[in-house]
Structure 1
C-alpha cells in the first residue's frame, strides 16, 4: 500500500522554496481521509498555480492512488484563510 504522506511530499517538495515548512496533518470525516498540507505563505501560490491548475493535477495524482477502506482521500491546502 502507498504511503500517501510520502507521495504528497515527493510531489510538493520540488515545487517549493522552503522545504522545512512543508508538513501534512490528518483529519478523518465520515466520508474522507483528509490530508491538510501546510506551507509557507510564499509557497502557497506556487503549489496552487495559475487558476488552480497545479493543485488540481496534484490532486488527480493523489486521488488515483488505491487506499484501503471505503473512505476517499482529500487533499486540502491550508493557506491560513477561513
Structure 2
C-alpha cells in the first residue's frame, strides 16, 4: 500500500506551506485501507478548500486506485 501513501503525499505536499508537518498514518480494517492525513493547522484550509472541493478532488483520485482484494481505500482528513 506504499503506492497509495506516496500518491497522497505527492498530491498534498505542493498544496501546503509546511510540508514537514504532514503526518499520514495507514491502517487496515475489515473493509478498508484507511489513511489518516494530518497537516499543520494553518494548512487545513488549503487541503479542504472552498466548500470542500479540494478534499473531494483528492479523495476522488485516491479512491480510484485499485488495491488487491475486496478492500477499498478511505482517506480521513484529521483537523
Q: Which residue of 1 aligns with 2:46?
A: 46
1:26 offset after TM fit, Å?
Answer: 1.3
Query: Number of residue pairs matched?
Result: 79
CA distance in 2 between counterparts of 1:12 and 1:68 reads 24
CA distance in 1 between counterparts of 2:28 and 2:50 reads 29
Q: TM-score, normalization: structure 2?
A: 0.93
Q: Which residue of 1 aligns with 2:75?
A: 75
CA distance in 2 between counterparts of 1:35 and 1:11 reads 14
Supply the RMSD in Å over aligned alpha carbons: 1.4
Unaligned runs of 5+ residues in structure 2 are none
Runs of 4+ with >4 A deviation: none
Unaligned runs of 5+ residues in structure 1 are none
Does 1:59 find its partner at 2:59? yes
CA distance in 2 between counterparts of 1:2 and 1:27 reads 12
Q: TM-score, normalization: structure 1?
A: 0.90
1:19 offset after TM fit, Å?
Answer: 0.4
